[in-house]
């Protein structure tokens, strides 16, 4: 018979993450949520594709491996943005606050190296060897996805409140602006196409309205709107247009 512990209590937030400084005010900047939603959607999609892949099919295998390369590039860029714009600030304000996220990022970098090597090994392998190699890639990627999901949840539940407690609104805006300015246009499009389908309609409209308002020129506005139209289902694109018209 299974042993049941009647005295078990669910862990508190402090048990899981340690004490977090109380925010000075309600959260006004969600630095992590929107991009993490996009990453979760993209990673789940790739994991599903890896599990369903016919590795003897050269064409679809090449397409999947190319998608994997692109996602690793985006995921690595996301980590770099956090390290340069968030971890450095935490080092100055609350050094112990960046220790655990930094160690997690180091583990992610090692996972990226493993996955990149496995991808190129499969790309060069003969057809009869690809199924076994593909199975190993699927399992390694599933481990990375599990670790990344835990890491992103911790950032949203522990690091975001920590930032909110330590920083002023102007400092939070500066972090957001610094991250956006560091993203080249082509990669910005990739981030938008990844994020928008994963967001709720109100979040999506707020993101696009803000991006359009801060766009430097009409070309940037066209890029933003084109990314939305390309990435969203027709009904979602129509809904976004209606919300933006009402907000105008």
Q: Which long-range contacts (CB under 8 A, 24 or more apart) does 144-152 make?
A: 144/108, 144/111, 144/115, 145/43, 145/44, 145/47, 147/104, 147/107, 147/108, 147/111, 148/39, 148/43, 148/75, 148/108, 149/40, 149/43, 151/101, 151/104, 151/108, 152/32, 152/36, 152/39, 152/40
pTM: 0.85
Which pLDDT tens digit goes with each residue over 157-198? 988 888 888 888 888 888 888 888 888 888 999 999 999 999
CB 92 within 8 A of CB 41: no
Residue partners of 136: CB distance under 8 A and separation at least 6:
118
User: H helices of 6-124, where?
Assistant: 13-17, 33-52, 58-82, 88-93, 99-124
In angstroms, the first-to-last Cα distance of the chain is 64
Q: Is the Cα torsion angle 71, 74, 77, 79 positive or negative in sign?
A: negative
Task: Output the pLDDT for position 195.
Answer: 96
Q: Which of 11-25, 86-100, 129-143, 203-217 has the lowest mean pLDDT?
A: 11-25
Higher pLDDT, 242 or 8: 242
Q: How many CA atoms lie within 13 A of 33 on its CB side?
A: 12
Task: Output the pLDDT for position 202.
Answer: 95
In the predicted model, what is the mean pLDDT of residues 75-88? 90
**C-alpha to C-alpha distance for 88 and 147, rounded to whole angstroms:** 23
Task: Output the pLDDT for position 28.
Answer: 62
Residue 248, helix vs strand vs coil: coil
pLDDT band of residue 149 (cuts 50, 70, 90) is very high
pLDDT band of residue 16 (cuts 50, 70, 90) is low
Residue 110 has pLDDT above 70, yes or no: yes
Residue partners of 17: CB distance under 8 A and separation at least 6:
154, 157, 158
Residue in the block written with tokens 């976004």 = 240
Residue 105, helix vs strand vs coil: helix
**C-alpha to C-alpha distance for 81 and 218, rounded to whole angstroms:** 26
Residue 35 has pLDDT above 90, yes or no: yes
């Amino acid at each position: 018979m299974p042993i049941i512990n009647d005295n078990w209590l669910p862990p508190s937030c402090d048990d899981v993450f340690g004490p977090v400084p109380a925010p000075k005010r309600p959260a006004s900047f969600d630095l992590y949520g929107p991009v993490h939603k996009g990453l979760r959607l993209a990673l789940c999609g790739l994991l599903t594709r890896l599990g369903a892949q016919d590795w003897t099919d050269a064409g679809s295998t090449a397409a999947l491996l190319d998608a994997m390369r692109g996602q690793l590039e985006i995921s690595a860029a996301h980590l770099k943005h956090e390290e340069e714009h968030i971890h450095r600030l935490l080092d100055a304000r609350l050094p112990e606050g960046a220790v655990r996220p930094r160690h997690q990022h180091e583990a992610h970098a090692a996972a990226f190296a493993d996955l990149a090597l496995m991808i190129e090994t499969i790309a060069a392998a003969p057809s009869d060897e690809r199924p076994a190699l593909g199975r190993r890639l699927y399992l390694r990627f599933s481990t990375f996805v599990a670790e990344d999901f835990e890491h992103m949840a911790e950032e949203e539940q522990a690091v975001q409140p920590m930032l909110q407690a330590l920083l002023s609104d102007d400092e939070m805006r500066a972090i957001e602006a610094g991250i956006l300015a560091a993203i080249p246009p082509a990669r910005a499009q990739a981030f938008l196409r990844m994020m928008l389908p994963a967001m709720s309609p109100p979040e999506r409209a707020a993101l696009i309205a803000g991006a359009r308002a801060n766009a430097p020129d009409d070309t940037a506005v066209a890029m933003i709107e084109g990314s939305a139209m390309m990435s969203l289902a027709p009904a979602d694109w129509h809904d976004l247009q209606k919300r933006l018209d009402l907000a105008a």
